[in-house]
Amino acid sequence: MTTTDITQDELALNTTGSVFKLPAGEVKLVLYVIAGMTAYAFLLDLLGFLFCTFLLVAFYLKVIAARRWPVTLSFAAAVALASHFFFDVLLKAEMPRGLLSWLI
């Protein structure tokens, strides 16, 4: 698709000519991403990196990607554990431990 293929319904320009109009469904998804990242930032110290990462990935997979629960939970656990291994074990970065400080 070239820029000439974009219809007027797909593109709304303001006076500077740089604003794109998103369909209502996509705006909702963008708001979900912003809400997820905001919650992650506020809960990171309380819940810890591992648990917050699990919750964020699970939220994105379930709400945005609309995956089934087994896929959501297993992939979220794999991403959280891989992130923990990479940052905490390999890089030895001090990530917030939160509720799981007694375990990890």
- Over the chain (104 residues), what is each successive 10-residue block's mean pLDDT? 51 56 84 96 94 96 93 96 95 88 70
pTM here is 0.74
User: What per-residue confidence (pLDDT) applies to 17?
Assistant: 59
User: What per-residue confidence (pLDDT) applies to 22?
Assistant: 75
User: What per-residue confidence (pLDDT) applies to 23?
Assistant: 82
User: What per-residue confidence (pLDDT) applies to 18?
Assistant: 60
How many residues would you count in the chain?
104
Cβ contact 60:36 at 8 Å: yes
Q: H or E stretch including 52? A: helix 49-59
User: What per-residue confidence (pLDDT) applies to 100?
Assistant: 72
3-class SS at 50? helix
User: What per-residue confidence (pLDDT) applies to 16?
Assistant: 56
